[in-house]
C-alpha cells in the first residue's frame, strides 16, 4: 500500500502536467457562478485599491462605463451583473475578476485613439468574463497546487520538484495565452454590434505592439523588466492579423470610429506615475497640429522617455512625416 501511495503522488502530478486539470479549468471545479460573484465582491475593494483606486473624473468614467454596458448587453446573458471600473493606474493594462468585475486602467485608455478601439478593448475583457477565465485560472492553479503537494510524498517527485514546479507554471502561462485568444473573439465582434468600425480591434492591438516597442526601448535605457502581464499575452501582431481578417469577413470597415468624441473626452486625462520623489503626474493633451509644426517640434512638449518615439507610438503613427497640419494628436506633458 505504501508503494502504491508513493506512485499515486507522482502519477497525479504527471496527469496534471499532461493536461489532467483541463476538466477543472473548463468546468469550474472549485467555483460555480454564485461563488464567482461572491469572490468578485470580496476581492473588489483590494483589486480596486491595488489599481490605484477609481479614476477621479466622473465624465470620463461615465463615458467608458456607458460604452462598456452597451458591449455587455450585446455579448452576455446577464449583462446587468457586470461592474465596470476605470482605475487610476497608469499601466497599459485591463483585467477581469470573477463575477463580472472589469477593471480598465487609465493608462490603457490613454493608448487607444478612438471609440472603436476602446470598444474592442472592453469587449476583450467582457470576453474574459463570459468565458469565466478568471475562475478557471483559479481552479487550474488550485489543482496544480494540490497535485504538487500530493506529489511531495514521493521521494522521486521531491528530487524533480523544481523542474515540475516550473513546468506547472509554464502550463498556466500557456493557458493564459489561450484565454487571451478566446477573449479576442468577443472583442473582435464588439465594434460591429455597436455600429463602429470593425477594424477598431486591429488598431487597438497594433497600439499594444507600438507600446511594447516604445517600452522595449525604454527598458534598454533603464534596465527595468518587462511587466508580467505583457509576458503572458500573445504577440500583438499575430492578433492584429486575425483581427483584420475577421473585420474583412464581417464588413463594417467603413463605419464610424467616433475619434473626435473620444479625444474630447480624454483631453486632460491625468496619469499618476510613482517615482523616488513620490507621485509624478503626466497629462494627456489633445492638440491640433498647426501650420509649421512638426513631430519633432511637438515632441519637445512631451515629458516621457524618448519623446519623439512616444509621440508617434501613442498616436499609432509610424514616422514623423505622418504628422500633418490639421491633425488632432495626443501629447503626454508635464502640465
Whether the model pTM is above 0.85: no
Whose cell is 520623489? That residue is 277
Give CA torsion, residues 230, 231, 237, 240, to 10 deg: -60
Residue 91 clears pLDDT 50, i.e. is over it: yes
Between residues 283 and 19, the one the model is more confident about: 283
In whole angstroms, what is the distance from residue 165 CA to residue 211 CA? 32
Residue 148 clears pLDDT 60, i.e. is over it: no
Q: Are strands 278-288 and 270-275 parallel, antiparallel or unpaired?
A: antiparallel
CA dist list (Å): 114 to 133, 141, 196, 253, 262:
27, 37, 10, 14, 5
Q: Are strands 270-275 and 94-97 parallel, antiparallel or unpaired?
A: unpaired
- Provide, rounded to the nearest whole percent, the portion of the chain with pLDDT above 90: 57
In whole angstroms, what is the distance from residue 312 CA to residue 107 CA? 16
Please give the average per-residue pLDDT across 22-45, as a whole number.
71
Element housing 133 (H / E) = helix 133-151
Q: What is the DSSP letter of 19?
A: I
pLDDT at 26: 44
pLDDT at 146: 45
Residue 168 clears pLDDT 70, i.e. is over it: no
Give 249: exposed, middle or buried? Use CB within 10 Å, 0-12, 13-18, 19+: exposed
In whole angstroms, what is the distance from residue 156 CA to residue 179 CA? 33
Give 152: exposed, middle or buried? Use CB within 10 Å, 0-12, 13-18, 19+: middle
Q: What is the DSSP letter of 235?
A: P
In whole angstroms, what is the distance from residue 189 CA to residue 243 CA? 9
First to last CA, the chain: 72
For 50-59, 174-183, 255-264, which range has the lowest pLDDT when averaged over its residues?
174-183
In whole angstroms, what is the distance from residue 1 CA to residue 318 CA? 67
Q: State how far Cα 229 lies from the chain centre.
A: 8
Q: What is the DSSP letter of 54?
A: B
For 86-100, 129-143, 314-328, which range has the lowest pLDDT when averaged over its residues?
129-143
Give rounded-to-5 percent helix, strand, coil for the chain: 60, 10, 25
Beta strand segments in the chain, E = 83-87, 94-97, 101-105, 270-275, 278-288, 328-333
pLDDT at 169: 44
Query: In this predicted model, what pLDDT tens digit does every residue of 170-223 receive, in sequence order?
Result: 444 443 677 777 778 888 899 999 999 999 999 999 999 999 999 888 776 555
pLDDT at 179: 74
Listed in sequence order, the DSSP H helices in 87-114 are 106-110
Mean pLDDT of the chain: 81
Residue 11 clears pLDDT 60, i.e. is over it: no
The ranges assigned to domains in the chain are: 1-265, 267-333
Query: In this predicted model, what pLDDT tens digit does every residue of 276-329 receive, in sequence order?
Result: 889 999 999 999 999 999 999 999 999 999 999 999 999 999 999 999 999 999
Give SS3 for 95.
strand
Amino acid at each position: 500500500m505504501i508503494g502504491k501511495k508513493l506512485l499515486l503522488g507522482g502519477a497525479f502530478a504527471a496527469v496534471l502536467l499532461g493536461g489532467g486539470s483541463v476538466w477543472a479549468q473548463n468546468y469550474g471545479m472549485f467555483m460555480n457562478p454564485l461563488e464567482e460573484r461572491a469572490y468578485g465582491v470580496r476581492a473588489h475593494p483590494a483589486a480596486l485599491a491595488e489599481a490605484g483606486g477609481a479614476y477621479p473624473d466622473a465624465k470620463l468614467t461615465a463615458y467608458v462605463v456607458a460604452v462598456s454596458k452597451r458591449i455587455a448587453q450585446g455579448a452576455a446573458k446577464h449583462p446587468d451583473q457586470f461592474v465596470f471600473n476605470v482605475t487610476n493606474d497608469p499601466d497599459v493594462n485591463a483585467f477581469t475578476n470573477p463575477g463580472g468585475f472589469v477593471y480598465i486602467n487609465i493608462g490603457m485608455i490613454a493608448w487607444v485613439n478612438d471609440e472603436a478601439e476602446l470598444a474592442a478593448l472592453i469587449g476583450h475583457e467582457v470576453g474574459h468574463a463570459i468565458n469565466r477565465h478568471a475562475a478557471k485560472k483559479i481552479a487550474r492553479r488550485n489543482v496544480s497546487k494540490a497535485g504538487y503537494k500530493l506529489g511531495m510524498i514521493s521521494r522521486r517527485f521531491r528530487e524533480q520538484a523544481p523542474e515540475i514546479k516550473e513546468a506547472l507554471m509554464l502550463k498556466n502561462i500557456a493557458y493564459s495565452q489561450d484565454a487571451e485568444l478566446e477573449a479576442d473573439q468577443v472583442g473582435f465582434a464588439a465594434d460591429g454590434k455597436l455600429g463602429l468600425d470593425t477594424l477598431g480591434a486591429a488598431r487597438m492591438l497594433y497600439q499594444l505592439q507600438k507600446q511594447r516597442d516604445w517600452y522595449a526601448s525604454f527598458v534598454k535605457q533603464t534596465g527595468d523588466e518587462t511587466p508580467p502581464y505583457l509576458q503572458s499575452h500573445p504577440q500583438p501582431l499575430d492578433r492584429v492579423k486575425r483581427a483584420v481578417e475577421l473585420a474583412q469577413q464581417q464588413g463594417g470597415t467603413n463605419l464610424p470610429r467616433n475619434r473626435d468624441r473620444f479625444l474630447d473626452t480624454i483631453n486632460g486625462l491625468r496619469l499618476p506615475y510613482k517615482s523616488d520623489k513620490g507621485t509624478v503626474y503626466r497629462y494627456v493633451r489633445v492638440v491640433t497640429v498647426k501650420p509649421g509644426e512638426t513631430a519633432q517640434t511637438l515632441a519637445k512638449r512631451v515629458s516621457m522617455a524618448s519623446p519623439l518615439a512616444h509621440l508617434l507610438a501613442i498616436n499609432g503613427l509610424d514616422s514623423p512625416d505622418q504628422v500633418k497640419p490639421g491633425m488632432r494628436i495626443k501629447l503626454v506633458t508635464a502640465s
